[in-house]
Chains A and B, each alone.
Chain A
Amino acid sequence: GENVEQHPSTLSVQEGDSAVIKCTYSDSASNYFPWYKQELGKRPQLIIDIRSNVGEKKDQRIAVTLNKTAKHFSLHITETQPEDSAVYFCAAGRSGNTPLVFGKGTRLSVIA
């Protein structure tokens, strides 16, 4: 089955700096790669996703890149703000009837 590795587990950055979180996956059949932000006690919130037919996607300060050959994808947050502080999870799956498999999460702290 699918296995998703996520690094780093914790990340501290100064406000305004960029943050990068990296994930690798094992199942070459996976074609959907979402990123979730989770605040304490709440459900994961989808912040951006990418499908395997695209190499990069950007939404304002957030971008995701995908390298299918190497089976890795990354989340980039630019101009970080204190409200970006949360736990971020990457996941991999195939849309439809197969479940998402999550990475272990990255606790991002943005220091003002």
Chain B
Amino acid sequence: GAVVSQHPSRVICKSGTSVKIECRSLDFQATTMFWYRQFPKKSLMLMATSNEGSKATYEQGVEKDKFLINHASLTLSTLTVTSAHPEDSSFYICSAGEYYGYTFGSGTRLTVV
């Protein structure tokens, strides 16, 4: 079946630095990628929707200048957390939407110290 490869799986960074998370669709083309954030013991909250070749659409309350999303090709979407702060520590996960369903990446646990 369809596979979305997400990297890194875990990252620890210092406050003020930036972190890039990559999601690659393997063996299929993902024209749309959804990015979610999950805080401990909470549900998955949609952050933004990225479409190949166009600007991402952000959900209300998500800072587009802080969470930069790039979807430059049909197989790669990236999320960059800029100037990270401890409150950005969370589990980030991408999902490619397809006609028959959705395929999730394995997630990235970000810890900002």
Contact = CB atoms under 8 A, between A and B. Distances in A.
A34 B97 contact: no
Contacts of A99: 34, 46, 49, 95, 97
A93 B31 contact: no
A34 B43 contact: no
Find the residue from B42, B99, B102, B106 having the highest chain A CB count within 10 A: B102
B98 interface: yes
A95 B43 contact: no
B67 interface: no
Contacts, number: 55
A96 B98 contact: yes
B107 A49 contact: no
Interface string A30-46: 00101000000111101
A43 B97 contact: no
The range of chain B's interface size is 20 to 34
A100 B102 contact: yes
A53 interface: no
Nearest to B32: A97
Given A43-B93, A89-B44, A99-B34, A49 B101 contact: yes
Interface in B22-52: 31-32, 34, 42-46, 49, 51
A95 B95 contact: no
Interface of B: 31-32, 34, 42-46, 49, 51, 91, 93, 95, 97-102, 104-107, 109
* 5 pairs of A and B residues whose beta carbons are closest in the complex: A99-B34, A97-B32, A43-B107, A102-B44, A104-B43
